[in-house]
Amino acid sequence: MHPPSLVVVTQSDRMRLILSRVQTLAASDTSVLLVGETGVGKELFADYLHRASRRRDRPFVKIALSAMPHDLLESELFGHERGAFTSAIADERGLFELAHTGTLFLDDIDDVAPAVQVKLLRVLESQQVMRVGGGAPIPVDVRLITASKVDLEQLVERHLFRADLFYRINVCPVHIPPLRDRREDIPLLATYFLQRFAPEKKLALTPGAEQALCRYDWPGNVRELRNAMQQVALFAERDVRAEHLPPEIAGSDHVARLIKACGRCMIEGQLTYTDVVACLETNLLRQALADADGNRSHAARALGLSLSTLRDKLRKYGLDESAD
């Protein structure tokens, strides 16, 4: 039986190296730490590491530790015996026992409280769990995959994460870069999601939409891009233009972009007031036209101008010789 392939839409050389590393790790039984911002796809890599391993037919158990109240986490991970606390009306297996002979994925390991870190380290070193309220250790055979949205070494230096636990889970770290550090993948991913959410529409990105997507920093990474394209797929019909994108992505803050584009005229003292105004206005007009894919009506609307005023300004600055 051939192992499944890891489907990641990318043309980034950096990502291809990471994929090669993950495919090698999948065949081993070593602990893996996935590091990357929220939304970069850590769970996708964890899924692959299990499906391509020798444990693929065994349980795959995962938990988002940040979503679990700290006072319940110990019981969730290690289980409890009947009577261990008020609501413990029966014996319950924890996630380590449920994942026995398989893989356990602990997401947001950086959110684990220090008291639980101690017990987690004990389990990893002894390969045994002690249920809350229990008296006998229970052997477990688990391949551990953890994920963190921050650099754990920094937490170790600040004494917020145990160094011994860090070294125990950091056997083979995989650092997944944020989307803003591989912008060449943004149009590729956007097109992939558009085709996935609306295959019958055959949606295509226009140059203006592509530029807007690549300008945006994507704090929510691939997850945010996927959600944005799902929204776009509902309303666009064929050509996806910048105006179809959410405002924060389309770049509706023209003033901030204008200042960034006109850094030279802001600092060169030799330019007159008229020169500065002309530079600013020219850049603003060019950007509005680019965002509207050359559609003057859409550009005028975005700038809050009438179409006739926009045409006059284009003619004034020699940006549209055909304006009439």
Domain residue limits, the chain: 13-177, 182-252, 253-324
Report the mean per-residue pLDDT for the chain: 86
Three-state DSSP class for 317? coil
Residue 122, both tokens: 């004990």
Between CA 170 and CA 175 the distance in angstroms is 11
Fold (CATH) for 253-324: Arc Repressor Mutant, subunit A (1.10.10)
Between CA 259 and CA 8 the distance in angstroms is 37
CA quadruple 279, 285, 289, 290: dihedral positive or negative? positive
Between CA 16 and CA 24 the distance in angstroms is 13
Mean pLDDT value across residues 89-113: 91
Asked whether residue 81 carries a pLDDT value surpassing 80, the answer given is: no
CA distance readout (Å), 26 to 19, 152, 272: 10, 22, 64
CATH of 13-177, one of 2.60.40.10, 3.40.50.300, 3.40.190.10, 3.30.9.10: 3.40.50.300
Asked if 302 and 291 touch (Cβ cutoff 8 Å), the reply is: yes
pLDDT tens digit sequence for 194-251: 999 999 999 999 998 998 999 888 989 999 999 999 999 998 888 999 889 988 888 6
Report percent pLDDT > 90 for the chain: 54
| CATH 1.10.8.60 for domain 182-252 | yes
At 316, the pLDDT band (50, 70, 90 cuts) reads: confident
At 266, the pLDDT band (50, 70, 90 cuts) reads: low
The number of angstroms, rounded, from the C-alpha of 172 to the middle of its chain's C-alpha atoms is: 21
CA quadruple 316, 318, 320, 323: dihedral positive or negative? positive
Mean pLDDT value across residues 310-319: 86
Q: Residue 132: its pLDDT value, please?
A: 79
Asked whether residue 126 carries a pLDDT value surpassing 80, the answer given is: yes
**Which alpha helices (H) appear in the chain, and where do they start and end?**
13-26, 42-51, 70-78, 95-98, 114-126, 152-157, 163-169, 186-197, 207-215, 221-235, 247-250, 254-261, 263-267, 273-291, 296-303, 307-316
Q: Residue 83: its pLDDT value, please?
A: 60
pLDDT tens digit sequence for 281-305: 888 888 778 777 788 888 887 777 8
B/e letters for 194-230, b = 16+ CB within 10 Å, e = fewer, are bbebbeeeebebbebbbbbbeebebebbbbbbbebbe
Asked whether residue 128 carries a pLDDT value surpassing 70, the answer given is: yes
Q: Kindly give, in sequence order, each residue whose CB lies less than 8 Å from that of residue 6, ignoring residues fewer than 6 positions away.
A: 19, 22, 23, 44, 45, 48, 52
At 323, the pLDDT band (50, 70, 90 cuts) reads: very low
Q: Residue 4: its pLDDT value, please?
A: 67
Between CA 254 and CA 304 the distance in angstroms is 11
At 260, the pLDDT band (50, 70, 90 cuts) reads: low
Most confidently modeled range among 63-67, 95-99, 247-251, 254-258: 95-99
Residue 262, both tokens: 């006109």
Asked if 126 and 74 touch (Cβ cutoff 8 Å), the reply is: no
At 142, the pLDDT band (50, 70, 90 cuts) reads: very high
